[in-house]
Structure 1
Amino acid sequence: MTANKEASSSPNVAVSANAPDSETLARMALSGDDEAFFRLVTDDRERLLRIAYAYMKNEHDALEAIQEATCRAYAKLRKLKEPSLFLTWYTRILINCCIDEQKRKRRMLPMLRLPEGAAIDRLPDERLRLDAAIAKLAPHYRHIIILKYYEDMTLTEIARLLEKPDGTVKTWLNKALKKLRADLGEGGGGFHDRWGEDGTLRI
């Protein structure tokens, strides 16, 4: 009796179990359901904010980029061909918004995420050098490093996001790492322990 009463008093369990997935929400949004569209963005907000922050340096500009991306995505929603790829499609729009805003403000240097509560003048020299080295990379190399090492995306996921062949993305990653190694050095300077035996970078 008690168990039944507790089950009936917890409707959220049933609601959560039946919550629509992102593809279902995208199909609903394409059918004119605005609530479904904004729920898609809200549910993925934390990841989107991390990506925007990596490009925009600060939370205010990152939130502005997300707002602009949301407006653009809403306006272009009918162009989405595959509902299952909504989040990939939206992320691509967000990155483009970040790039546009950087160009507008002439602030082309992406700041990597700071530890919570950290002040920039207290950051280790090693971290500042790493930020500067990544900032000097060509945009497409910078995208790869941010998405690979800060968002932990696979090369296949990055390729789909950037609409490039897997082989191209792998080549870009290797070239980006090679440039970073040349800039930072493989030994000394505090960077010797950041390079794996396979040549990858440990952020």
Structure 2
Amino acid sequence: EPTVRAELMEQVPHIAMFCQENRPSIPYAFSKYLLPIVVRYLADQNNQVRKTSQAALLVLLEQELVERYDVETKVCPVLIDLTAPDSNDDVKTEAVAIMCKMASMVGKDITERLVLPRFCEMCCDCRMFHVRKVCAANFGDICSVVGQQATEEMLLPRFFQLCSDNVWGVRKACAECFMAVSCATSQEVRRTKLSTLFINLISDPSRWVR
């Protein structure tokens, strides 16, 4: 019953907190039993169940209730699977959004190793503009987590593509995070590359982008 699964997800952060407080007695309870259910429900057929599991996962990460090892071995692999080319469209879009939101919580190392390669692929998802729009909207956050080198080497080429996307909503999302992206680059890059890009955006055919 979907309502039962959704209700269970709402209780998960409280149960996780209890497990944390009673860790000497139940050391692996959360990692072994609860977390696998949360990540499994990220691909649930019911929209409400997916939404509550996403919210639960983000709360768990924010409260640092998920061990780093579990993030690497249980959370990230599932999100990578859910963003595969043959994944359900809604599930894929939602999974990309979670990857973006969790970047600041899991830090530079995990984001760069496990999230960034798939994020770069998603920026070029030619079939689904919803996915590209999520990537564009969160681009600045990813840049600020991975730092200058990864931004300039891996992310900027993708940002240039997104800024000239054929969907105005994607270009608008780029314009909104432009400042955050530029803050993650060197002064030289801002002067030689980003200034031209910004001029293109402020003279965009769409007034919503301008």
TM-score normalised by the shorter chain: which range applies?
Answer: 0.3 to 0.5
Per the normalisation by structure 2, the TM-score is 0.34
User: Does 1 or 2 have the higher relative contact order (CA < 8 Å, sep 6+)?
Assistant: 1
Query: When the two structures are superposed, what TM-score results if normalisation uses the length of structure 1?
Result: 0.34
Structure with bigger helix share is 2
